[in-house]
Amino acid sequence: MKAVRFHETGGPEVLRYEDAPQPVPGTGQVRVRVAASAYNPADGGMRGGFLPIPITLPHVPGYDVAGTVDALGDGVDGLAVGDAVVGFLPMASDGAAAEYVVAPAEALVPAPTRIPLVDAAGLPSVALTAWQALFEAGGLEAGQRLLVNGAGGPVGGYAVQLAAHAGAHVVATGSPRSAAAVRAAGADEVVDHTTTSLLEAVAEPVDVLLNLAPITADDFTALVALVRDGGVVVSTTPMVPTPGDEARGVRAETVFVHPDAEVLSRLVARVDAGELRVQVARRVPLAELPALHAEAEAGGVHGKVVVVAPAA
């Protein structure tokens, strides 16, 4: 089969589009004929050796998958050959930047039927990150005020949609390039962070501050003033400590996304019900994944990009 792998960590040039052995499912596993994987910044971090995830070389990136069940290992119930599935794969294992991938059966759920299967690869890890940040870490409830810093990215798009659907008042940042999409996702207020200070634009305290954007420690600490007493600051950017304010009871939560098939199934159901939009900016062929990594390193990737397997 064709796959993209890296045999050593380093820059995008270590990625190779090459022949690799077709994986065989073990007990409790299934083999998926990949329709598409997705590019995530963490793929670049693992390729570069920056993330403390114990991968084995050579490694196939791509921990989001959409595809069709191709073979079953022993002890697998609830899935059948031919089923269309999506999943968030274990990050330390070989991923889906290949024609086939082996996955734990419990990581996979039926794919949404409302959208093309290749686009469904843009759902699992980013939508789970948004859900876990808002509701598990942030405890967001209807009627509360939420500030999303970095709403123009893939996680932000899901966060705004989910929060709006939950009945929260959403204040979100967006650049001129992303502002219309952020508002369409359900934001009640959109702040152009390229021209306006959040500290000046947010007039009323928020219950939850969700940071999804690159930020300095000093700037992040300053934003805590926008959170009401007893509120919460949530961040998905672990390179900068998440600040709180113990004196005011403002807690700090840093989110590291974890697999959750039950929640992923609920998110799929929302897609099929028309309550959650999967937004894919681009589709690129698997053979072009090394070039996509290089583009991302140069800051040229905006929005969610799915990586289409051969003959998908």
Residue 213 CA: distances (Å) to CA of 16, 119, 154, 173: 30, 24, 11, 10
Residue 16: strand, helix, or coil: strand
Fold of 2-123+278-308: Quinone Oxidoreductase; Chain A, domain 1 (3.90.180)
How confident is the model over 126-145, as a mean pLDDT?
Answer: 98
Question: What pLDDT does residue 179 have?
Answer: 85
- Percent of the chain's residues with pLDDT above 70: 100
Residue 167 CA: distances (Å) to CA of 100, 140, 144, 253: 40, 9, 8, 22
Question: What pLDDT does residue 200 have?
Answer: 87
| Residue 88 backbone dihedrals phi, psi, to 5 degrees | -105, 110
Question: What pLDDT does residue 174 have?
Answer: 86
Distance CA(105)–CA(79), nearest Å, equals 8
- Percent of the chain's residues with pLDDT above 90: 88
The two tokens of residue 204 are 């009323």
Question: What pLDDT does residue 199 have?
Answer: 87
Same fold, 2-123+278-308 and 126-254: no
Amino acid identity, position 8 = E
Sorted by sequence, the CB contacts under 8 Å of residue 29 that are 6+ apart come out as: 73, 76, 102, 103, 104, 105
**Residue bearing the bigger pLDDT, 175 or 309:** 309
The two tokens of residue 38 are 């997705």
pLDDT-derived band at 288 (thresholds 50, 70, 90) equals very high
The two tokens of residue 31 are 């083999």
pLDDT-derived band at 175 (thresholds 50, 70, 90) equals confident
pLDDT-derived band at 312 (thresholds 50, 70, 90) equals low
> How confident is the model over 191-218, as pLDDT tens digits?
987 888 888 889 899 999 999 999 999 9
Q: Are 32 and 1 in contact (CB under 8 A)?
A: no
Residue 59: strand, helix, or coil: strand
Q: Are 7 and 58 in contact (CB under 8 A)?
A: yes
The two tokens of residue 263 are 């929640």
Q: Exposed, middle or buried by CB within 10 Å (0-12, 13-18, 19+), for 285?
A: middle
Question: What pLDDT does residue 40 have?
Answer: 95
Sorted by sequence, the CB contacts under 8 Å of residue 180 that are 6+ apart come out as: none
Least confident range of 123-127, 197-201, 244-248, 262-266 = 197-201
Distance CA(251)–CA(254), nearest Å, equals 10
pLDDT-derived band at 178 (thresholds 50, 70, 90) equals confident
How confident is the model over 292-304, as a mean pLDDT?
Answer: 93
Residue 305: strand, helix, or coil: strand
> How confident is the model over 10-27, as pLDDT tens digits?
999 999 999 999 999 999
Where are the domains positioned within the chain? 2-123+278-308, 126-254
Q: Are 159 and 210 in contact (CB under 8 A)?
A: yes
For the beta carbon of residue 10, count every other beta carbon within 10 angstroms.
Answer: 12
Question: What pLDDT does residue 309 have?
Answer: 98
Residues 126-254, CATH architecture: 3-Layer(aba) Sandwich (3.40)
> How confident is the model over 224-245, as pLDDT tens digits?
999 999 999 999 988 899 999 9
Task: Give the mean pLDDT of the chain.
Answer: 95
